[in-house]
């Protein structure tokens, strides 16, 4: 089995394939012909870096940065280069996907731009939360996010930010599913490291100056403009154990593929009340979503005069970790952020267990850790679901019915588990049953609900007004049948990766 170490770039495997095509959006008319839905989430490596970095779990279990709120901004631009829709929302848990639902009355091609950053105020004015480090609501919106000079700060993890984009087509008189978008960082990070750690005890304060790009375009990922950084009287320095840097670190906008080369970095500092200075030479490289570690004898002259004063290393990961993760396989655990491991890792948040991997060995299906027993429906009436549709399509059909939360208990419970989950199709349940031995071994080790091989498992499709399809084991095979939809049967939830 091929392994992927966390110290190397982790695969972002959370581009969840839950969208349905416009051609397949049968029976969605009840949800509104102008309706558009899309999901957004942080990518796997980004989430892992937050969990292993300075973000913490609150008492409720939410992944947060203490003292700040994570704000998502969605801007939808039409073919006339105008904003057709804009929304800002705060999330309490950075680890969870966010679902957007909005209306577009005109058919056409659209670009959905997404930005997420931290704000200090949770009160919105006219739908806009006060920008803290980045101006997001100028005339060009997310096409020209700019640094706010007055609040520019180093050694500040709240300056972290994330972006993503998606293109979709809205057909006339039909709802649209814009799919799922994963957000990554728009910048690289520089870590300035003093190699002679004994000198840090004598460091009183420090001032720094250099230039960085000032504008980021979410649509095309380009950087432009110049901001002259000038930060004085730095007296609090980062902990190398958690931040890598021990003098200062900074987030710097970087292009999608090429390196952003910096000019000289001027450092003035007081060492035991004596003024000193050092200049890091120009052309230090910055790469998006990577760390540039600049280390050397900045506060002191090395004993060996042949030792190079400054060394530069580009690190493919945002944080250091000794965890190893596997490629997805039946029976492996799926962790928050799209990470896979054969071993149950208690310090990470496990969401489910893999029960199917496709031929690419990169995509498949997971089953959730919880199950319940519920009625498919409380009434014997057509719901608009069908054996021909996918699980997500059937869920959308159910959500298009009035009072669906009351009428369809199994689907209500499914939705309560999170935006990416759905009740599986008959064929997906058969895959789950066929692999139940390996899956149950993993579920039991995680303290989760195992699959009852003697139970009847609800699918997401109905057969008639009074009945729906279920799957059950007979002999060594898993087969399907129909049963009164008002009966209570076992409900499992699945999601794609």
Per-residue confidence in pLDDT tens, the chain, 497 aa: 333 333 333 333 333 333 333 333 333 444 468 999 999 999 877 887 887 776 676 666 788 888 999 999 999 999 999 999 999 999 999 988 899 999 999 999 999 999 999 999 899 999 999 999 999 999 999 999 999 999 999 999 999 999 999 999 999 988 899 988 999 999 999 999 999 999 999 999 999 999 999 999 999 999 999 999 999 999 999 999 889 999 999 999 999 999 999 999 999 999 988 999 999 999 999 999 999 999 999 998 766 666 667 999 999 888 766 666 788 999 999 987 678 989 898 777 889 999 999 999 999 999 999 999 999 999 999 999 999 999 999 999 999 999 999 999 999 999 999 888 999 999 999 999 999 999 999 999 999 999 999 999 999 999 999 999 999 999 999 999 999 999 999 999 999 99
What SS3 state is found at 238? coil
Three-point CA angle 284, 290, 295, nearest 5° = 45
Give the strand order in the sheet containing 488-496.
339-341, 333-335, 350-357, 364-375, 488-496, 457-464, 467-474, 477-484
N-terminal to C-terminal alpha carbon distance within the chain: 19
In 3D, which of 493, 489, 374 has the Cα closest to residue 432? Answer: 493
Whether the CB-CB separation of 70 and 94 falls below 8 Å is answered with yes
Q: Is 447 helix (H, G, I), strand (E, B) or coil?
A: coil
Q: What phi and psi values does residue 7 have, to the nearest 5 degrees?
A: -75, -10
Q: Is the C-alpha dihedral spanning 395, 401, 405, 407 positive or negative?
A: negative
Query: Which tokens belong to 103?
Result: 């209306």
**Residue 126, CA distances (Å) to 1, 86, 123, 130 in order:** 53, 12, 10, 11
CB 249 within 8 A of CB 159: no
What residue has token string 């990766």? 497
Closest CA to 207 of 191, 190, 230, 189: 230
pLDDT value of position 11? 30
Give pLDDT, residue 187.
97
Q: How far is CA 379 from CA 190, 323, 354, 404, 465, in A?
A: 60, 49, 33, 11, 9
Q: Where are the beta strands (DSSP E) in 120-264?
A: 124-125, 128-129, 134-135, 145-147, 161-170, 176-183, 187-194, 203-212, 215-216, 223-224, 227-234, 248-253, 260-261
Per-residue pLDDT at 471: 98
| Whole-angstrom distance, CA of residue 421 vs CA of residue 96 | 12
Three-state secondary structure of 14-68? CCCCCCCCHHHCCCCHHHCCCEEEEEEEECHHHHHHHHHCCCEECCCCCEECCCC
Check residue 316 and give its pLDDT.
85
pLDDT for 318 equals: 83
CA 138 to chain centre: 26
265-271 β-sheet, strand order: 227-234, 203-212, 265-271, 274-280
Torsion of CA 418, 419, 420, 421, to 10 degrees: 50
- Which residue, among 129, 311, 124, 115, has the nearest Cα to 219 in the 3D structure? 115
pTM, rounded to two decimals: 0.68
Output the pLDDT for position 189. Answer: 97
- pLDDT of 58 reads 67
At 207 the pLDDT is 97
| Contact of 135 with 141, CB cutoff 8 Å | no
**How high is the pLDDT of residue 13?**
31
Beta bridge partners of 211: 228
CA distance 297 to 199: 10
């Amino acid at each position: 089995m091929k392994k992927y170490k966390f110290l190397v770039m982790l695969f972002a495997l959370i581009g969840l394939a839950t969208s349905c095509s416009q051609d397949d959006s049968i029976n969605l008319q009840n949800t509104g012909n102008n309706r558009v839905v899309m999901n957004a989430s942080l990518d796997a490596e980004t989430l892992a870096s937050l969990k292993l970095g300075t973000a913490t779990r609150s008492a409720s279990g939410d992944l947060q940065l203490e003292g700040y709120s994570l704000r998502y901004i969605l801007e939808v631009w039409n073919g006339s280069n105008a904003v057709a829709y804009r929304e800002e929302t705060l999330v309490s848990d950075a680890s969870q996907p966010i679902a957007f639902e909005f209306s577009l009355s005109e058919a056409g091609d659209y670009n959905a731009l997404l930005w997420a950053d931290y704000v200090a105020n949770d009160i919105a004015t006219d739908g806009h939360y006060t920008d803290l480090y980045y101006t997001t609501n100028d005339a060009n919106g997310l096409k020209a996010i700019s640094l706010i000079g007055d609040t520019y700060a180093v050694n500040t993890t709240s300056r972290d930010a994330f972006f993503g984009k998606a293109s979709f087509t809205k057909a006339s008189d039909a709802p649209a599913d814009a799919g799922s978008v994963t957000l990554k960082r728009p910048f690289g990070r520089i870590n300035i490291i003093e190699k002679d750690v004994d000198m840090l005890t004598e460091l009183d304060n420090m001032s720094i100056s250099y230039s960085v790009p000032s504008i980021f375009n979410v649509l095309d990922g380009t950087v432009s403009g110049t901001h002259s950084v000038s930060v004085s009287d730095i007296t609090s320095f980062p902990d190398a154990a958690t931040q890598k840097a021990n003098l200062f670190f900074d987030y710097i906008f970087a292009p999608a593929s090429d390196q952003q080369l910096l000019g000289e970095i001027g450092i003035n500092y007081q060492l035991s009340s004596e003024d000193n200075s050092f200049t890091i030479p120009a052309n230090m490289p910055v790469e998006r979503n990577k760390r540039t570690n600049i280390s050397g004898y900045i506060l002191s002259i090395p004993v060996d005069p042949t030792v190079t004063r400054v060394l530069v290393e580009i690190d493919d990961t945002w944080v250091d970790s000794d965890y190893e993760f596997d490629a997805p396989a039946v029976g492996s655990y799926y962790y928050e952020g799209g990470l896979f491991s054969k071993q149950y890792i208690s310090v990470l948040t496990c969401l489910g267990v893999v029960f199917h991997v496709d031929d690419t060995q990169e995509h498949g299906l997971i089953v959730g850790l919880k199950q319940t027993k519920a009625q498919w429906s409380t009434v014997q009436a057509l719901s608009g679901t069908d054996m021909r549709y996918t699980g997500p399509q059937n869920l959308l059909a159910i959500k298009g019915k009035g009072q669906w939360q009351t009428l369809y208990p199994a689907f209500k419970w499914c939705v309560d588990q999170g935006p990416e989950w759905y009740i599986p199709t008959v064929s997906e349940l058969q895959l789950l049953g066929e692999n139940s031995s390996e899956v149950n071994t993993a579920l039991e080790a995680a303290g989760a609900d195992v699959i009852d091989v003697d139970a009847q498992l609800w699918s997401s499709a109905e057969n008639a007004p009074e009945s729906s399809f279920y799957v059950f084991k007979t002999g060594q095979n898993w087969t399907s049948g129909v049963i009164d939809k008002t009966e209570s049967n076992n409900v499992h939830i699945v999601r794609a990766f």
